Structure 1
Amino acid sequence: MTARVAFAMLLTAPVALTAADAPVRWNAAGSGNPLLPGYFADPSIVRDGGRWYVFATIDPWGDDRLGMWVSDNGRDWRFSQPDWPTKAAATSPTSGDSKVWAPSVVRAANGRWYMYVSVGSEVWVGSAASPAGPWADANGGKPLIAKDFAPAYHMIDAEAFIDSDGQAYLYWGSGLNWVNGHCFAVRLNPDMVTFDGPPRDITPAHYFEAPFMVKAGKRYALTYSDGNTTKDTYTVRYAIGDTPFGPFEEAANSPILSTDAVRDIVSPGHHAVLRSGTQNYILYHRQALPWPRGGDDVLRQVAIDRLAIGADGTLARVVPTHGSVVGGFGRARLRGLRWQAFGSTGDPVYAPARAADDNYATLWRGGGEGRAMLVADLGSVRAVRGSRLRPEYATRSYELGIEASTDGKVWRAAVPVAVLSGSPITLLHPLRARYLRLTTAHGGNGFWEWSID
């Protein structure tokens, strides 16, 4: 593995799967996948100073900024958005209309961090002393790879690779109009911005986009995506070569990750590979469930699963999961609560119990346009310190408040109604109560989890 991905993960012990195990359904309580509460895609993951960072595209279909999730323990993730790049700041005379997509974050041999990111169908590069930022443009306010570099293809999905000798390479390229594209590669100079020689076309068979290089022994496995991420055809494929530039021959067992109807996995792809001790993992996005959901929004979620890599560069087929193959993410503090919703949709997919089922694939959603309420019964009068809410969209604002009651009849304000955003939305309300009542101003609002401390 490369220096970029050879770090120790703070995860709970994996649970081994056997052939006799029935696949966990996507709406089962306690699922460890998806990893993040919300709609995100194209993930890049790094670790620095004991802290996790996941950078990702914000769905639907990009945003004016990236999403960044941070965790100190591999379980509780906090959302924010880096100040750079923005659609406005990373725009050139040749830029297209595409939003901010597909970050790749690496630490270079010089100790600084570099981000390669797609904006307007161009590749931009920024740098920072820490993954936490502040990030700033590193190429004089112009794209590293302009849109017109190869006009027949999208100049997106740049991914940096640091070889075992410290040499850095950059890979990029995507097809147009869902027709397969070309993959380009170049050696980077130590400044991580200028090119050491001309870019090369290294396109393997069945390549569409999202290249990610994996070093296995003395061989190189170029992994990538094929198909259409808006349908059920998206896959992860790979090809093997003897150098970072190939030539690459697609492996006999490619693709290694694809739609699995039995496990309710739809269109997995655009991934990153990481290592924990002796175990490798693949971090990727897949379609949010239930699917298809109608409408034009493309909504994807980030998941993580095991990946076996052979010394000869071969990769084993990934068994995608919803369960605890990688455990310990997003667990609610209080379990077994009784829930009652007023203004609910009536759809069991969005039932009240979904707000505390430890599963980021499911959420509670109110019904109608008016106010909706969700009541949590703690079982007895007890001391509570506060709440953590995981809203459906981490970038949107929600008008909400919390009330408390000891008998379910007389209510008092615990958190005054206010317009709030973020994930989690952390609310302090030290008090004694048996019942807590969450009120949202719009019945269509959804919440992945309501954790009560």
Structure 2
Amino acid sequence: MIKKKITLSLMSLLLASASFAQKNPVIPGWYADPEGIVYNNEYWIFPTYSAPYKEQILFDAFSSKDLVNWKKHPRILDNNEVKWAHQAMWAPSVIEKDGKYYFFFGANDVHEGEIGGIGVAVADKPQGPYKDLLGKPLINKIVNGAQPIDQFVFKDKDGQYYMFYGGWKHCNVVKLSDDFTKLVPFEDGSVYKEVTPENYVEGPFMFIRDNKYYFMWSEGGWTGPDYKVAYAISDSPFGPFKRVGIILEQDPKIATGAGHHSVIKVPNEDKYYIVYHRRPLGKKQAHERETCIDEMTFDKDGFINPVKMTFEGVKHVLK
């Protein structure tokens, strides 16, 4: 019996850092709010470790050469490093700048008068280990009604970095300093600009295609079946963002609660994948969410076609 327990423990350790090939969900376990990105021609997913708030105090990362075979990088950041975070660490946004890798995150499900909000960590490698950059939140206060969560860091065409963020049906954009340690005013002197589109709830994301800004967000309740993703198209990163429509929502044959996504573009190709979480059929707990990937396509006019959720995910190995 002792030998059997030792063998099982060794197997668990090996599996924790092993590579694995898997269709949707692409990574085993409960993971949500996935941020997908390409670093050095390698695909990465940085998700929320989806658990009850008191247990949701760490982040894992996953890397892949082909969007099919994934390697787990466990506990790249946790609340032992982020001293001010005591619960509900979630929704990473990541970016590389000048050879450093930055990891933005929310913590503590902060309300007015509490310590928490959006933090920043930094590392020399995508897999970390990450260190708290500030020792405190970058944004702690509630401005324009937006809870400081669900941040997305965006690099504009001119090299300027902005951050879109916000829960509670409000979205702000702020301008980041070159070292990501503070917010800097816009030309008109304001620090926070509200850019909330129709029906916005949380989970902003932006990308540029054919010189147009695609702004995306989640609608509905994240704990329920009606979570979904909608989008707008603008000529400016500040909008106006006129809602076009929904492109991802529940499918009674596949899953419910499909939302809080990101988008991965295949390098040097006009090929896009949406990385998102969804709730398996029959699952009701708030934290029971899985990370999935499906192809995202456009029509001839540049509008996003409705995404079909699948169990197959990426159908072939990318080169």
- Residue in 2 that maps onto 1:126: 121
- Residue in 2 that maps onto 1:137: 132
3-state SS of 1:66 partner: strand
Question: C-alpha distance in 2, partners of 1:151/1:196?
Answer: 17
Correspondence 1:227 to 2:184: no
8 Å CA contact 2:76, 2:127 repeated in 1:
no
Question: C-alpha distance in 2, partners of 1:204/1:244?
Answer: 13
Alignment match of 1:195 (pick from 168, 171, 183): 183
- Residue in 2 that maps onto 1:304: 293
Matches of residues 4-153 of structure 1 in structure 2 within 5 Å? 32-61=23-52, 63-84=56-77, 86-92=78-84, 98-108=87-97, 110-121=98-109, 122-139=117-134, 141-146=135-140, 148-150=141-143, 152-153=145-146
8 Å CA contact 1:91, 1:120 repeated in 2:
no
Runs (4+) off by over 4 Å? 310-313
Matches of residues 240-279 of structure 1 in structure 2 within 5 Å? 240-251=233-244, 254-261=245-252, 263-276=253-266, 277-279=269-271
- Residue in 2 that maps onto 1:431: none
CA gap of 1:182–1:311, structure 2 versus 1, over 3 A, is farther
CA gap of 1:83–1:308, structure 2 versus 1, over 3 A, is closer
Q: What is the number of residues matched between the two proteins?
A: 282
Report the CA distance between 1:318 and its aligned residue.
0.9
- Residue in 2 that maps onto 1:395: none
Question: C-alpha distance in 2, partners of 1:325/1:133?
Answer: 27
Unmatched 5+ residue regions in structure 2?
1-20, 110-116, 186-190
3-state SS of 2:184 partner: coil
CA gap of 1:119–1:220, structure 2 versus 1, over 3 A, is same
Question: What amino acid is aligned across from residue 143 of structure 1 in structure 2?
Answer: P
- Residue in 1 that maps onto 2:166: 173
8 Å CA contact 2:165, 2:203 repeated in 1:
yes
8 Å CA contact 1:34, 1:301 repeated in 2:
yes
8 Å CA contact 1:171, 1:184 repeated in 2:
yes
3-state SS of 1:255 partner: strand
Question: C-alpha distance in 2, partners of 1:199/1:284?
Answer: 27
Matches of residues 323-402 of structure 1 in structure 2 within 5 Å? 323=312, 325-327=314-316
Q: TM-score, normalised by structure 2?
A: 0.80
3-state SS of 1:103 partner: strand
Report the CA distance between 1:91 and its aligned residue.
4.8
Alignment match of 1:154 (pick from 147, 154, 162): 147
Correspondence 1:281 to 2:246: no
Unmatched 5+ residue regions in structure 1?
1-29, 176-180, 330-453
Report the CA distance between 1:325 and its aligned residue.
4.4
CA gap of 1:309–1:107, structure 2 versus 1, over 3 A, is farther
Report the CA distance between 1:77 and its aligned residue.
2.4
Question: C-alpha distance in 2, partners of 1:325/1:47?
Answer: 16
| RMSD, aligned CA | 2.4
Report the CA distance between 1:292 and its aligned residue.
2.6
Question: What amino acid is aligned across from residue 164 of structure 1 in structure 2?
Answer: K
8 Å CA contact 1:221, 1:313 repeated in 2:
no
CA gap of 1:309–1:125, structure 2 versus 1, over 3 A, is farther
Question: C-alpha distance in 2, partners of 1:39/1:314?
Answer: 31
Taking only the aligned residue pairs, the percentage that are identical comes to 30
Question: C-alpha distance in 2, partners of 1:184/1:57?
Answer: 21
Between Structure 1 and Structure 2, whose CA radius of gyration is higher?
Answer: 1
